[in-house]
């Protein structure tokens, strides 16, 4: 009977550890130059999480948000990682401004159209592939204003809208800024313990 309880405790500890790791991966960053709170801050003033908490919550840029790839912080600034989230969308899907901002960049980066917004306080958000017709650097957008439509050429295997957020140049999880986080589902790691 003692070994059954030990197995249950081990399974619970594994679930707690896996859940904590998943939350850190979704909401935070780790590695060189990153703050322990997952903000990506390297000691310059308020952390990304503190900046996000101080700003009004953003609305989602598409009508139906479904994350197909979560934020995955790189272990160092130049290492591989996923510096944003990917939302499942089809080409032609309209995209709106998540909050009041100023157009910081509108153009092509490598082979895909990108739009970057400046939300103030060192916070920038980027959207790709997004064709932003009629928007130019310096244009003011208000929460809910149309930004453009999703194009093709995304880095994901299926069609998506990549959303990235930087605070003072450091990438942070966009989920820190949105008004609600989509529901997550915890799945068992393995079958029930026998013994």
Supply angle C-alpha 22, 59, 77, rounded to 5: 45
Closest C-alpha to 70, from 24, 120, 125, 137: 24
Tens of pLDDT along 121-171? 999 999 999 999 899 999 999 999 999 999 987 677 668 999 999 999 999
Q: What angle do CA 63, 27, 164 make, to 5 degrees?
A: 55
pLDDT band at 28 (very low <50, low <70, confident <90, very high): very low
pLDDT of residue 64: 86
Give residue 155's pLDDT: 77
CB half-sphere exposure, 91, CA atoms < 13 A: 7
Written as six digits, the tokens of 50 are 């503190």
Contact 137, 37 (CB under 8 A): no
- The pTM of the full predicted model, rounded to 2 decimals, is 0.69
State CA 126 to chain mean position distance: 10
The average pLDDT across 88-112 equals 94
């Amino acid at each position: 009977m003692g070994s059954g309880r030990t197995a249950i405790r081990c399974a619970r500890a594994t679930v707690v550890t896996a859940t904590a790791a998943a939350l850190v991966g979704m909401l935070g960053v780790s590695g060189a130059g990153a703050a322990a709170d997952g903000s990506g801050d390297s000691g310059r003033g308020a952390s990304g999480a503190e900046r996000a908490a101080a700003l009004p919550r953003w609305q989602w840029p598409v009508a139906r948000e479904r994350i197909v790839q979560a934020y995955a912080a790189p272990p160092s600034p130049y290492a591989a990682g996923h510096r944003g989230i990917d939302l499942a969308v089809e080409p032609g899907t309209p995209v709106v401004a998540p909050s009041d901002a100023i157009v910081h960049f509108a153009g092509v980066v490598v082979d895909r159209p990108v739009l970057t917004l400046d939300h103030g306080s060192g916070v920038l958000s980027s959207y790709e592939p997004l064709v932003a017709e009629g928007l130019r650097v310096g244009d003011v957008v208000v929460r809910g204003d149309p930004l453009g439509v999703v194009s093709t050429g995304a880095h994901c295997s299926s069609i998506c809208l990549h959303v990235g957020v930087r605070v003072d140049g450091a990438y942070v999880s966009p989920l820190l800024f949105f008004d609600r986080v989509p529901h997550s589902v915890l799945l068992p790691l393995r079958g029930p313990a026998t013994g």
